[in-house]
Amino acid sequence: MSKLHSLSFDHQYHRLSFEGFPIHLKEYSKGLTEVPLVFIGGAFQNITQVEKLSNAIAEKSWVITIDTPGNGDTGILPHTYGFDFICRAIHSALKSLGVDRINLMGCSYGSIIAMRYAQKYLGIDKLILASAMAELPRELEYDFNLLLFQLEWNRIEEFADGFTNLMTNPELRQTNRIARLTADKLKHALLNANTGIKEQFKHNTLRILLDGKTDLSLMPDVEATIFTGEHDHFVPVEANLKVANSFKNGRFIAVPGADHMIHVEKFKRMIEIIHDTLMDSEETVEGTFTMDRAA
């Protein structure tokens, strides 16, 4: 049963549940376009934290931003519930809103969900993926398990340093002031994370380790745009390009001057890419690689 709270003419907040777990959605500029963009952020990107992104995208599109079970204010989703469960929760929530046709965007952790959703359900016009995580490399399996160990033993300083160095590129930080400030802000947030956020990190990380691989041979025939920062060493350019090449109509954009935190370091360019993708009615070309030259 959905509880609907009208925050303004253009914003509506929904608290729903699926099989006993909460799922939250917020609509922006409802009705501005016929098809909404459904936005699934990263593991630490809850509705409130991506409000700036949602509002900017909503200047040209109806947007539905989602806190999936286990993210944001929805509490903990045990890692034994995989990504297919999260996809079913999203599908149920969208059906409750009467939404059958969507554009879909997933960022980082959210890209796993978006790709799985696109494999399971029809009705997706365009797919947008930022830092697309098709699978976790072996070296990152070690890093993720180490982070979990550090949390378990309350080695918070080591945990904050380790995760910050995965999400932001240390070499880029040496020459890029915005990247350096972004890393400092992320580390501060990790050092001051409450128990709930730490538990979410634990279960979401275990979910990636256990169920984070997506079979790219099963990607549907939808128009897909994939992009990330040129210096993203967490989900590097080569990994994103591999995802783009799995689509018949796929393109990849590498953005200079950014790493995995592209939504902070190159906010305006990210919005441009999203708007251009949503407004573009032409088919993309298989395997298109674009090295963005925007500063």
Model confidence over 225-245: pLDDT tens digits?
Answer: 999 999 999 999 999 999 999
d(CA 192, CA 215): 36
- The confidence score (pLDDT) of residue 6 equals 35
Q: Which residues fall within 8 angstroms of residue 209, CB to CB, at 6 or more apart? A: 136, 141, 144, 145
Name the residue among 263, 256, 265, 264 with its Cα closest to residue 231: 256
Who wins on pLDDT, 286 or 173? 173
Q: Which residues fall within 8 angstroms of residue 1, CB to CB, at 6 or more apart? A: 16, 17
Is the separation of the CB atoms in 90 and 120 below 8 Å? no
Q: To 5 degrees, how large is the angle CA 230–CA 232–CA 235?
A: 120
Name the residue among 42, 119, 105 with its Cα closest to residue 278: 105
Give the CA distances from residue 89 to residues 29, 75, 96, in Å, rounded to whole numbers and listed in that order.
23, 15, 11
pLDDT per residue as tens digits for the range 58-69: 999 999 999 999
Average pLDDT over residues 70-95: 97
Name the residue among 71, 251, 236 with its Cα closest to residue 169: 236
Dig out the tokens for 86 from the structure. Answer: 């999260």
3-state SS class at 197: helix
Q: Which residues fall within 8 angstroms of residue 51, CB to CB, at 6 or more apart? A: none
pLDDT per residue as tens digits for the range 203-222: 999 999 999 999 999 999 99
DSSP E strand boundaries for the chain: 3-6, 11-18, 21-28, 37-40, 63-67, 102-107, 124-130, 223-229, 249-255, 288-291
Is the model's pLDDT at 10 over the cut of 70?
Answer: no
Instruction: Find tokens 């991506």 and name the residue.
Output: 50
d(CA 60, CA 109): 25
Q: Which residues fall within 8 angstroms of residue 268, CB to CB, at 6 or more apart? A: none
State the DSSP code for 266: T
What does the mean pLDDT of the chain come to?
92
